[in-house]
Amino acid sequence: MPKIAKTKNKVLKTKAKTVSKLKTSNKPKTDAKAPIKISKTYLPKDNEKYMCEKHKVYFRIKLQDWKKELIKSNNEALYNGSLDDNSVSADIVDQASSYTDKNVEMKAINRQIKLISEIDKALARIREDTYGYCLDTAEPIGLKRLMARPVAKYTIAAQEKHEKDEKVHADD
């Protein structure tokens, strides 16, 4: 009887090993998708599936290039522009003009910094697969609107509603 028990244990052990091998070998293989490459002249088309991988790659590249351009222009304005001009003029009019120029330039830089933040949010939405869809209604924003304003978060109707609400609250 002991020989039979040993044989059964061996059989059970080998079955357990083969079952565990089968379980590990049947895991779904996560093939790392090769990044989709698009030509530099590619433009999203309405006849393609909305927000397909090509569209996402196109808008990601467009947003990243836009961000690089804004950062470069901000750096040039901050380090090479007239902002670091500390010369004090004896003429009051010249001083006022210089102050106004610097103020306008700083406002432009601040707007660009806010735009860079919006670009980062749009890039995050691309990663989350929510880019191109309205944050309020979840409807497609539309390729034409995204081509004109890649950081758009709302459909035109939802954007108008938001602007109307902002105006009402600003008047209070």
Please indicate whether residue 98 or residue 143 has the higher confidence score (pLDDT).
Answer: 143
pTM: 0.69
Instruction: Tell me the three-class secondary structure of the chain, residue by residue.
Output: CHHHHHHHHHHHHHHHHHHHHHHHHCCCCCCCCCCCCCCCCCCCCCCCCCCCHHHHHHHHHHHHHHHHHHHHHHHHHHHHCHHHCCCCCCCHHHHHHHHHHHHHHHHHHHHHHHHHHHHHHHHHHHHCCCCCECCCCCCECCHHHHHHCCCCCCCHHHHHHHHHHHHHHHHC
Q: How far apart are CA 144 and CA 129, in angstroms?
A: 19
* Segment 10-46, tens digit of pLDDT: 444 444 444 444 444 444 444 456 678 888 888 889 8
Q: What are the pLDDT digits (tens) for 46-70?
A: 899 999 999 999 999 999 999 999 9
Q: Return the pLDDT at 20.
A: 45
Instruction: Kindly tell me if the per-residue pLDDT of 128 is higher than 90.
Output: yes
